[in-house]
Every structure is written in C-alpha cells, then in structure tokens.
C-alpha cells in the first residue's frame, strides 16, 4: 500500500477503499504526533501546573470539532466524544511532560 491512495469518489474496489483508509490512518497518526508536540511545547511554556488543565479551552476545542463535523456532514456527536478522549489524553500527556521538565 502506498500513500498515493485514490480519492474516495475514485475507489472502485475494496482494495482501493482499504488502501485509502490505511493511508488516512497513517496521516492521522502523523498529525497526532504533531499535536502531541504542541502539548510538549505547552508543558515547557506553562509555568504553573494548574495551567495544564483548562476546562474552558477544552470545551471550546470540542465545540469547534462538533461544529466542523456537523458542517461536513459527518457524525458530530461521535467526533465530539472522540475529541473529549483526545483532549483528556493530551492533558494527561502534557501533565506528565510538565512534571518531567521540572524534576
């Protein structure tokens, strides 16, 4: 499988579909690697441990995803749940990094 997957509308077989899904999954992991890099940056920049968790920011991020998903016609509530988990995982990761950097 390569990263030159066909567009969904160009897929003619399940092999095409699966190649596209696999390429998309690889790209998503790459994007998540970047996102967690930003969590490391936040851990480095924030001076107070209490600043790691920001419920207002969490709500805004999840709401933005819900709205974007709804506009795209994909399952908005399900993506909001996925993002809730992603943000909680990101907060936990940032907290671990914040503590590691201050040992």
- Domains for the chain: give ranges and CATH numbers: 11-101 (1.20.59.10)
Percent of the chain whose predicted confidence (pLDDT) is above 90:
96
Q: Is 46 annotated as a binding residue?
A: yes
Q: Is 94 annotated as a binding residue?
A: yes
C-alpha 19/C-alpha 10 separation (Å) is 12
C-alpha 23/C-alpha 17 separation (Å) is 10
Give the predicted TM-score (pTM) of the model: 0.91
Contact predicate 44/38, CB 8 Å: no
Contact predicate 65/79, CB 8 Å: yes
Lookup: tokens for 78: 């399900």
pLDDT tens-digit readout, 32-50: 999 999 999 999 999 999 9
Q: Is 40 annotated as a binding residue?
A: no
């Amino acid at each position: 499988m390569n990263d030159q997957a066909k567009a969904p509308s160009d897929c003619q077989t399940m092999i095409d579909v699966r190649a596209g899904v696999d390429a998309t999954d690889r790209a998503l992991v790459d994007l998540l690697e970047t996102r967690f890099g930003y969590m490391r940056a936040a851990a480095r920049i924030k001076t107070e441990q209490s600043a790691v968790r920001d419920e207002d920011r969490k709500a805004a991020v999840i709401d933005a995803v819900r709205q974007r998903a709804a506009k795209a016609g994909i399952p908005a509530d399900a993506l909001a749940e996925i993002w809730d988990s992603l943000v909680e995982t990101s907060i936990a990761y940032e907290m671990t990094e914040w503590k590691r950097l201050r040992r």
